[in-house]
Amino acid sequence: MKPVGPIPAGYESLAGELAIGGMRASELVAAAGRTPLFVYSRAHLNARIAQLRAALPAQVGINYAVKANPHLAVIGHLAPLVDGFDIASSGELGLCLKAGIDPARISFAGPGKRDEELEAAIAAGVTLNCESLGEGRRALAIGQRLGKAPRIAIRVNPSFELKGSGMKMGGGAKPFGVDADKVPELARELIAHGAEWRGLHIFTGSQALSADAIIEAQGNVLDLAARLTEAIGHGCPKLNMGGGFGIPYFPGDEPLDLDRVGAALIARLEHLPAVLADSELCLELGRYLVGEAGVYLCRVVDRKESHGVVYLVTDGGLHHQLAASGNFGTVVRRNYPSAIATLYGAEPTEEVNIVGCLCTPLDRLADNAIMPRADVGDLVAVFCAGAYGASASPSAFLGHGPAAELLV
């Protein structure tokens, strides 16, 4: 037997089924017209933003990292709730503009920005988080050709990292950002050649559940930003402090102590260096905002036994939920939070493997999990599916196509 991860708070049973936004799982599938289906909960999004606002210092804004979930309805719902949007492609830029986001609220990070992407961002008035000397000079040249000063911040590759993070984005050689010791010279060059200086972006890692690690990283970010701003000789209009806040996925994971992180940041900002006194501060959060707000629903299409092992074969799989299958950066596969949505709250009675419809042994949604007895037609729910699900999975693999998406 392998336990499943902890189901996020706020999901309830209605008439014996999982309910999201006041609708039963079967009703949601009927509304979408098919399975598989990603369902995103407005109530969960609202609650998470409210928790952050209550815990964090009032002067620290919240930016949404669109790469976590670029569904247009999710972007539109978050538009009045967050302070800014961080994008990583011209495709995400197009989605934000379609959702009516003011380009002044958007920043664009990521290595390898193509000239046409730089041009679209500069023309729109988006802030470029510059990742290299070459990118900065290309942006200046494009701005000159357009007759428009590019809005540029520098993404910093710090010498430290976010300890215990799932993906480390700082410390040592990285394709991301400009090494910290090279930032002042590049910033002065950009400013001297007419760029509108927008400050610094320092992102150290993601998916950390340790409050101590995040508190330490935030202190290091503020110290580094102060040193760099002094060396540059210009103010820091905005400091994107990164994020890194994680959510529990696996058995034994404990939620991040957000109140502790917020209290430490409040105390730290009471002694903010004078050089950052007028800086706009923000955190860049993606998974933490939307991850627990999403549920992936798929239907059992076959129930079979092989050598005494029960398999629930669904119409979903890794082509929509790569991370839940264990093929998105995990070394040892563990079970995501999951349940039989049409028997939600029923007593577990059997050990089953829940698998997808793809012709590969990698296509697993739950191994040796204890579940209520399910049969053909029942719905399986995989939780924590609001981030890096639909858009981070190989939906074209084996030609089954993308899942439906619904915000309720």
Domains (ranges, CATH) in the chain?
Answer: 12-40+292-407 (2.40.37.10), 70-285 (3.20.20.10)
Query: What was the pLDDT predicted at 170?
Result: 54
CB 128 within 8 A of CB 150: yes
Instruction: Strands of 26-103 (E only): list them.
Output: 37-40, 60-65, 84-87
Rounded to whole angstroms, the Cα distance separating 189 from 133 reads 10
End-to-end Cα spacing for the chain: 34
The closest of 86, 291, 266 to 209, measured between CA atoms, is 291
Q: What stretches in the chain show pLDDT beneath 50?
A: 168
Which pTM value belongs to this model? 0.95
- What are the tokens at 368? 């040796």
Query: What was the pLDDT predicted at 329?
Result: 73
Query: What was the pLDDT predicted at 328?
Result: 83
User: Regarding beta strands 238-240 and 196-202, do their DSSP bridges make them parallel or antiparallel, or are they unpaired?
Assistant: parallel
- Each as own residue / partner, the long-range contacts of residues 267-271 (CB below 8 Å, 24 or more positions apart, any chain) are 268/218, 268/219, 268/222, 269/57, 269/59, 269/60
- What are the tokens at 391? 């858009």
Residues 6+ apart with CB under 8 A from 257: 211
Rounded to whole angstroms, the Cα distance separating 395 from 91 reads 17
For tokens 């260096």, the residue is: 273
Query: What was the pLDDT predicted at 253?
Result: 95
Rounded to whole angstroms, the Cα distance separating 176 from 171 reads 10
Query: What was the pLDDT predicted at 176?
Result: 75
